[in-house]
Amino acid sequence: MEIEKLWEEVRELNLGTSSQVERLESPPSPLRFLRDFVSPNKPCIISNATLHWPALSSWTQPSYLSHALSSSPVSLHLTPNGLADALVPRPDDPSSLCFVSAHVQRMPFSDALNLVSSSSLSNSFVAYAQQQNDCFHSEYSALAPDVDSHIPWATEALGCLPDAVNLWIGNHLSETSFHKDHYENLYAVISGEKHFLLLPPTDVHRMYIRDYPAANYSYSQDTGEFTLELEKPLRYVPWSGVNPFPSPADRDREMAFFPLYFNGPKPFECTIKPGEILYLPSMWFHHVRQSPDERGLTIAINYWYDMQFDIKYAYFNFLQSICGPSSFFLPEARTWEVSDISIPTTSADAANEDLSCSVLSATHNDIPLATKSEPGASEIAILSEVADA
């Protein structure tokens, strides 16, 4: 059995072979949610899930949020282009990539909201009010009465309260690259729309995950410019190299570099609207874009519940380990050009050691094999070596 067969089988048995996500017209019973979605690790969209939340009307009123939060300090994430937690050229070697986090600045909510609204590429920054540390219960606690503090049927099904609740206030420029979380995720949209691409954990090798050195943006208000710095000491973050929406000019190149993604089964695709919740199962890879409301904002809140580290998780780790811990058919070193706003999404760091693998069929064997990257000191050596080449 090849790995491709696994990708097919999980769809035939469990997920369906279309790219549609199952939709429920109302919240499921806890038992049904657990049996039909959490246990089989299958996403669903729940319509009419949060219509009773005051937030659905109040948060869309012009000055409600600013009044409610007034001068509460919140964390604002700033990037040059809306792509945080993304791969960009290394500052010390632009022919290879690093994993960059946003510049985070605490400021009064009203200022933050203004910056989110006025973000544009011509302004040369994009602001995103968010913080994935249970920020709803800290920075945004004044809004607590406007939504449920947890999702009752999910809480009952999962047997625990959410571990974190995060609020996201952004605009159409913010985009989250493919990644997975170790949480059961209930994702509710309040205003605007969120567009998800989803791939099951079985498809891990189609994500081309490698370790990248961590870097941070630093924004200077004086110059209005971003600088990019690698973390010292170097720290490595495993991340997907796949950009599912390459520009037309880049498409052929990206398809050649990530054939398992582009030639395999299509990702599941869905748009979540106000009043709806996406159940995003633990360990699913997801890519998120958003459409704004008439104010230019997209507002969402997500509830992270602890996942069970059970036989599924053990199977996943075994699968991921096959043919190296964090690489799989990565191409050899490549070069690319920095265009205006698009950020290249693959790595030039691959060395050439062969890595044989019998579980993929011969159809992809025309792509050169890459070595697995070892996080830590050895990685630095490999990267330097390739950079010099």
Binding site for its own copies (CB under 8 A): 1, 3, 5-6, 9-10, 13-14, 30-32, 34-36, 38-42, 156-159, 200-202, 308-322, 325, 356, 358-359
Q: Which is nearer to its own copies, 355 or 387 (CB)?
A: 355
Q: Which is nearer to its own copies, 38 or 351 (CB)?
A: 38
Least Cα distance to 205 among 307, 311, 330 occurs for 330
In the complex, minimum distance from the CB of residue 323 to its own copies, in angstroms, rounded to a whole number: 9
Q: Which is nearer to its own copies, 13 or 362 (CB)?
A: 13
Q: Which is nearer to its own copies, 15 or 330 (CB)?
A: 15
In the complex, minimum distance from the CB of residue 379 to its own copies, in angstroms, rounded to a whole number: 19
Gap between the Cα atoms of 320 and 198, Å rounded: 18
Cβ-based neighbour number of residue 52 at 10 Å: 10
In the complex, minimum distance from the CB of residue 306 to its own copies, in angstroms, rounded to a whole number: 12
Query: Among positive and negative, which fits the CA dihedral 177, 183, 188, 191?
Result: negative
In the complex, minimum distance from the CB of residue 20 to its own copies, in angstroms, rounded to a whole number: 18
- 140 Cβ contact partners less than 8 Å away, ≥ 6 residues apart: 69, 72, 74, 167
Contact at 8 Å (CB) between 261 and 254? no
| Amino acid at site 271 | T
Q: Which is nearer to its own copies, 89 or 281 (CB)?
A: 281
Between strands 103-108 and 73-79, the pairing is: antiparallel
In the complex, minimum distance from the CB of residue 105 to its own copies, in angstroms, rounded to a whole number: 39
Gap between the Cα atoms of 20 and 44, Å rounded: 9
In the complex, minimum distance from the CB of residue 318 to its own copies, in angstroms, rounded to a whole number: 4
Q: Which is nearer to its own copies, 14 or 141 (CB)?
A: 14
How far apart, in Å, are the Cα atoms of 164 and each of 160, 198, 378? 12, 21, 35
Between strands 44-46 and 126-130, the pairing is: unpaired
